[in-house]
Structure 1
Amino acid sequence: MNINIIAVGKVKEKYFNDAIKNYEKMLKSYGDLSIFEIPDEAAPENLSEKDMIRVKDIEGEKILSKIKDGSYTIALDIKGKSIDSVELADKMKNVMLEGFSNINFIIGGSLGLSDEVLNRADFRLSFSKMTFPHKLMRVILVEQIYRAFRIMNNHPYHK
């Protein structure tokens, strides 16, 4: 199984990178994890609605260019479906049983994801109604992917 995380923005903080690398190392026994960082577009606080859409569209084109044909795509979206860790494991297992060997998880930039990316997604996943910084979300996502593999393989995990 190949897991791809396509994320807008770069993680600069060592402590976040250390946490991500730790989970990446633990995931190696379950599959391959690749992280693709998409440069974020400048988005000052006072952008008009039209400019916000433009920024999301530019980032969206870069995201879509990283999605391989025949892969299953999960967009992290605050308006998506909220599921627990066991349901995520079931979702990933079912995707694999359907014959997909690549699962993409997409984390948007500060303005979210473009309509084109959201429409391309096979599933929209919400971790919470709260907003998280993309770098922290990346740590949370990698941990949940690791936890999902532990659950799928009947290995112990904390409930």
Structure 2
Amino acid sequence: MHYYVVAVGKAKAPYADDLAHYAKLLSRHARVDVIEVADDEEAVARRIPERAYVCALDERGRAYSSEAFARWVEDRRQGGRDVCFVIGGPFGTRVADTDQRLSLGPMTLPHQLARVVLLEQLFRAHKILAGETYHH
């Protein structure tokens, strides 16, 4: 499985270290590319891979428990398409053509922290799917 995270802006401390940590852990289960782009709708759209399942992070999107998100991940894996998550900048996600909108919960998170939470939840989902315990 291949995940793309197209994110507006460059990750900075303290988020950059956590992002690298979870990307490394997740790389044991799936390929992951974090692509940083300018806060520009065209720049975001250009970096979304063709034929990928596009999931934009959006506060109005669907929220999942970790177990339900793991099932969602498995459904995407069975679908055979790469998954591209789009994370907007401080003013939200501005991408029109998506397959789904995902919420990380009702609280507003800094967009850089949202990247870390997403990668951590993807790693957790793969641990759940493998039947392994995860307390981190």
TM-score scaled by length of structure 2: 0.93
Aligned to 1:96: 77
Q: 1:108 deviation in Å?
A: 0.6
Structure (1 or 2) with the larger CA radius of gyration? 1
Question: What is the aligned partner in structure 2 of residue 63 from structure 1?
Answer: 44
Distance between the aligned counterparts of 2:132 and 2:41, measured in 1?
Answer: 37
The AA in structure 1 aligned to 2:60 is K
Unmatched segments (≥5 aa) in structure 2: none
Could you tell me which residue of structure 1 aligns to residue 12 of structure 2?
12
1:3 to 2:3 alignment: yes
How far has the Cα of 1:17 moved from its partner?
Answer: 1.3
Percent of pairs with identical residues = 35
Which of 58, 63, 84 is matched with 2:65 structurally? 84
3-state SS of paired residue (1:65): helix
| Aligned partner of residue 131 in structure 2, secondary structure | coil
Larger proportion of helix: 1
Partner of 2:31: 32
- Offset at residue 158 of structure 1 (A): 3.5
What secondary structure is seen at the aligned counterpart in 1 of 2:123?
Answer: helix
Q: Deviations over 1:74-128 (max 9, x none)?
A: 110001111111111111111111121x1111111111122xx1x4111111112
Displacement, 1:65?
0.7
Match of 2:91 in 1: 111
State the 1:129 CA deviation: 2.1
Structure 1 residue 131: Cα displacement: 1.4
CA distance in 2, matches of 1:120, 1:8: 17
Q: Which residue of 2 aligns with 1:127?
A: 104
Between the aligned partners of 1:84 and 1:146, the Cα distance in structure 2 is: 14
Aligned residues: 136
SS, match of residue 4 in structure 2: strand
